[in-house]
Amino acid sequence: MVEFKPNTQFKWEIIDSKISYQESINASFSSRIVIFKHSTRCSISNMAKNRIESVNKPNNNPKCYYLDLLNDRELSNQIAYDLNVKHESPQVIIIENGKCIKHISHNKIMWKEILS
């Protein structure tokens, strides 16, 4: 199994439990957030992660949360169910006030899509 190695320049919040997932949803009531569902074995997912991390995240960009699909598949399924979003991998889910306002998958994952 490939271990998550965060980019030291990019600030990810990790979702690895129901508690951290609920904290991310709670944060969405203060400001828009992004959940990135990542498969460490998928080259497209690695490319999407690198695209997100390639930008030093400006302060006005949403808080970004990372979910490892291989280690937390049940939690990923719960997120898809709760937010009424079809599971994809890789996937970015943009959440505001506890609801999905947009989701992006595969090669469309890039900052211009996230912020539009």
Give the pLDDT confidence score for residue 1 in this predicted structure. 44
As given in the structure block, the two tokens for residue 60 are: 């006005």
Contact between 29 and 82 under an 8 Å Cβ cutoff? The reply is no
CATH dotted code for 12-115: 3.40.30.10
Q: Is residue 92 within a helix (H) or strand (E), and if so which, with residue range?
A: strand 91-96
Give the pLDDT confidence score for residue 2 in this predicted structure. 46
Q: Is residue 82 within a helix (H) or strand (E), and if so which, with residue range?
A: helix 73-83
Give the pLDDT confidence score for residue 10 in this predicted structure. 80
Question: pLDDT digit of tens for each residue in the chain (116 aa)?
Answer: 445 555 557 889 999 999 999 999 999 999 999 999 999 899 999 999 999 888 765 566 789 999 999 999 999 999 999 999 999 999 999 999 999 999 999 989 998 898 88
Domain spans of the chain? 12-115
Cα separation, 112 vs 67, whole angstroms:
21
As given in the structure block, the two tokens for residue 79 are: 């997120």
Contact between 73 and 67 under an 8 Å Cβ cutoff? The reply is no
Give the pLDDT confidence score for residue 55 in this predicted structure. 74
